[in-house]
Amino acid sequence: MPDPLVLSVLDQSPVSEGATGADALRNTIDLARHADELGYYRYWLAEHHNGPLLAGPSPEVLIGPVAMATERLRVGSGGVMLPHYSPLKVAESFSVLAGLFGDRIDLAIGRAPGTDPMTMFALQRDRRQASPDDFPDQLAELLALLEDRMPPGHPFASLTQLPGRPYAPEPWLLGSSPQSAIWAAELGLPYAFADFINPQGAPIAERYRATFIDSQRLAAPRLAVGVSVICADTDEEAQRLAASGRMTMTLLHRGRLIPVPPPDKAQRFLEADGQPRDGMPPGRRAIVGSPETVAAGMREVAGAYGADELVVVTITYEHAARRRSYELIAEAFGLVAADAADAADVAPIVS
């Protein structure tokens, strides 16, 4: 009997030491093609600004090229950081994408800045004062625009001409805290929880399910969990690859941002820093190991959350190692590859 767990990809477009942001963006397109062939379900692009580690500040720009380069994947943001933007502009941008790519487009919305305070301020159009903390109002306005349900008498009630109709993106809410779960439940939205940021999220997910209000958007709660995973042929090789991420996270917590370092360099750093060869910085979780180790760890996380879907984020120094990691995960879970799926006309789910 098929396993209902769905596997997807979150791509943060990591920049390796010695490479450029342009290299990272081209790797994103390559990895999306590979994920499409392997049978992953959706491919989300992250938003981060002004740092040497991640090259994806504009998911709305990357979604089009990724959707053009793939055939089966749903493609979307993971996510758009709404406090930086006008809800109307976001609605228009994603309506264009939906008009071009039909029902393949997701719009996952986040509240976090995805950057430092100065860059956040530079992203503002009006810099006379800090932007208000009005995320719930922004989110309600965005949903009303996308769904053409602006209340009568609202100043924006006449804004009905989104170009992509009758198509529209599927909205999601992202989060790593209790408040995001409350909003997702109240609005009847699918919810994506970032376990790789907060691995203590199972009670938050349970609250989302328990308080979910069915809506015209969604009849029952739908939960995806973002997990950090590195898979290699052996546990030892996976831990070696994971050293790169551990070094970047260690220095990030100390206020220093760097590109993804080579694993051997990272291992020397961790040894000099007195850290063990495996593990993660406090408060973080990563699933690292051989296909058997990783599959067991991923199923454990999915079970703890009661998740319908896992969205896998993988950062390695070598792009080939990142491709291989997703290959091994797909094999471990029996994802349906492109040729087989086309022949059988089945959805890309775990078997």
The Cα 84–Cα 266 span in angstroms is 34
Give the pLDDT of residue 303: 97
Give the pLDDT of residue 151: 84
- The answer on pLDDT for 348 being more than 80 is no
The mean per-residue pLDDT over the stretch 85-92 comes to 95
**Higher pLDDT among residues 348 and 287, named by residue:** 287
Give the pLDDT of residue 215: 85
- Cα dist from 164 to 65, 92, 94, 104, 268, whole Å: 17, 8, 8, 13, 52
Instruction: Tell me, yes or no, whether 351 lies in a domain.
Output: no
Give the pLDDT of residue 344: 46
Residue 25 structure tokens = 């963006």
Instruction: Tell me, yes or no, whether 63 lies in a domain.
Output: yes
Evaluate whether 108 touches 77 at the Cβ level (below 8 Å): yes
The Cα 64–Cα 93 span in angstroms is 11
CA 21 to chain centre: 19
Q: Work out the pLDDT band at 276, boundaries 50, 70, 90.
A: confident
Instruction: Tell me, yes or no, whether 126 lies in a domain.
Output: yes
Q: Work out the pLDDT band at 339, boundaries 50, 70, 90.
A: low
Instruction: Tell me, yes or no, whether 159 lies in a domain.
Output: yes
- The answer on pLDDT for 160 being more than 90 is no
Residue 193 structure tokens = 């929880």
The Cα 135–Cα 118 span in angstroms is 20
The Cα 309–Cα 298 span in angstroms is 10
Q: For residue 290, give the CATH number of its domain.
A: 3.20.20.30
Range of the domain at 334: 6-344
The Cα 228–Cα 52 span in angstroms is 20
Percent of the chain clearing pLDDT 90 (strictly above) = 79
Angle at CA of residue 134, ends 131 and 135, nearest 5°: 110
Instruction: Tell me, yes or no, whether 34 lies in a domain.
Output: yes
Q: What does the pLDDT look like over 216-255, one tens digit per residue?
A: 899 999 999 999 999 999 999 999 999 999 999 999 989 9
Instruction: Tell me, yes or no, whether 228 lies in a domain.
Output: yes
The mean per-residue pLDDT over the stretch 303-330 comes to 97
- The answer on pLDDT for 259 being more than 60 is yes
What three-state secondary structure class fits 281? coil
- The answer on pLDDT for 351 being more than 50 is no
Evaluate whether 110 touches 174 at the Cβ level (below 8 Å): yes
Give the pLDDT of residue 120: 79
Instruction: Tell me, yes or no, whether 350 lies in a domain.
Output: no
- The answer on pLDDT for 176 being more than 80 is yes
- The answer on pLDDT for 315 being more than 90 is yes
**Number of domains the chain contains:** 1
**Higher pLDDT among residues 212 and 150, named by residue:** 212
Instruction: Tell me, yes or no, whether 186 lies in a domain.
Output: yes
Evaluate whether 28 touches 67 at the Cβ level (below 8 Å): no
Query: Which segment of 296-305, 319-328, 335-344 scores lowest on mean pLDDT?
Result: 335-344
Q: 3-state secondary structure string, 150-216?
A: CCCCCCCCCCCCCCCCCCCCEEEEEECCHHHHHHHHHHCCCEEEECCCCCCCHHHHHHHHHHCCCCC
pTM (two decimals): 0.92
What three-state secondary structure class fits 294? helix
Question: Phi, psi at residue 73, to the nearest 5°?
Answer: -60, 140
- Cα dist from 339 to 36, 74, 296, 347, whole Å: 11, 18, 27, 12
The Cα 62–Cα 57 span in angstroms is 9
Residue 221, H or E segment: none
Query: Which segment of 29-38, 117-126, 195-204, 305-314 scores lowest on mean pLDDT?
Result: 117-126
Give the pLDDT of residue 3: 55
Average pLDDT score, the chain: 92
- The answer on pLDDT for 349 being more than 90 is no
Q: Which of 174, 163, 105, 165 has the alpha carbon at shortest distance from 139?
A: 174
Give the pLDDT of residue 72: 96
Q: Which of 85, 88, 90 has the alpha carbon at shortest distance from 105?
A: 90
Q: What does the pLDDT look like over 9-41, one tens digit per residue?
A: 999 999 999 999 999 999 999 999 999 999 999
**Higher pLDDT among residues 116 and 110, named by residue:** 110
Give the pLDDT of residue 124: 82
